[in-house]
Structure 1
Amino acid sequence: MSLDTPKVTFKRVMLKISGEALMGDQGFGLHPPTVERIAREVKSVHDLGVEICMVIGGGNIFRGLQGSAQGMERTTADYMGMLATVMNALAMQSALEQLGIHTRVISAITMNEVAEPYIRRRAVRHLEKKRICIFAAGTGNPYFTTDTAATLRANEMNCEAIFKGTKVDGVYDKDPAKYPDAKRYETVTYDDVLAKRLGVMDASAIALARDNNLPIIVFSLDEPGGFKGILSGHGTSTRVQG
Structure 2
Amino acid sequence: MSDQASGVSGKTASETDADAPQPTYNRVMLKISGEALMGDQGFGLNPPTVERIAQEVKSVHDMGVEICMVIGGGNIFRGLQGSAQGMERTTADYMGMLATVMNALAMQSALESLGVFTRVISAIPMDQVCEPYIRRRAVRHLEKGRVCIFAAGTGNPYFTTDTAATLRANEMACEAIFKGTKVDGVYDKDPVKNADAVRFDNVSYDDVLANRLGVMDASAIALARDNNLPIIVFSLDEPGGFRGILSGKGTYTRVGN
Q: Give TM-score, length-normalised by structure 2.
A: 0.93
Say whether 1:113 aligns with 2:164.
no
Residues 70-89 of structure 1 show CA distances to partners (whole Å, capped at 9, x for unaligned) of 00000000000000000000
Equivalent in 208, 232, 237 of residue 217 of structure 1: 232
Say whether 1:241 aligns with 2:256.
yes
Say whether 1:196 aligns with 2:211.
yes
Say whether 1:24 aligns with 2:75.
no
Q: Amino acid of the residue matched to residue 152 of structure 1?
A: L
Deviation at 1:33, TM superposition (A): 0.2
Deviation at 1:4, TM superposition (A): 3.9
d(CA) in 1 for partners of 2:90, 2:72:
17
Q: Amino acid of the residue matched to residue 182 of structure 1?
A: A
1:7 aligned residue: 22
1:97 aligned residue: 112
Equivalent in 118, 125, 130 of residue 145 of structure 2: 130
1:185 aligned residue: 200
d(CA) in 2 for partners of 1:190, 1:230:
20
Q: Which runs of 5+ in 2 are unaligned?
A: 1-15
Deviation at 1:3, TM superposition (A): 4.2
d(CA) in 2 for partners of 1:78, 1:91:
20
Say whether 1:71 aligns with 2:86.
yes
1:54 aligned residue: 69
d(CA) in 1 for partners of 2:151, 2:182:
22
d(CA) in 2 for partners of 1:73, 1:234:
46
SS at match of 1:30: coil
Deviation at 1:9, TM superposition (A): 1.5
Say whether 1:158 aligns with 2:158.
no
Q: Which runs of 5+ in 1 are unaligned?
A: none
Structure 1 stretches of 4+ moved >2 Å: 1-4
Q: Amino acid of the residue matched to residue 191 of structure 1?
A: D
Taking only aligned residues, the RMSD between alpha carbons, in angstroms, comes to 0.6
2:163 aligned residue: 148
Residues 14-69 of structure 1 show CA distances to partners (whole Å, capped at 9, x for unaligned) of 00000000000000000000000000000000000000000000000000000000
d(CA) in 1 for partners of 2:171, 2:250:
28
SS at match of 2:17: coil
SS at match of 1:2: helix
Deviation at 1:6, TM superposition (A): 1.4
d(CA) in 1 for partners of 2:51, 2:151:
19
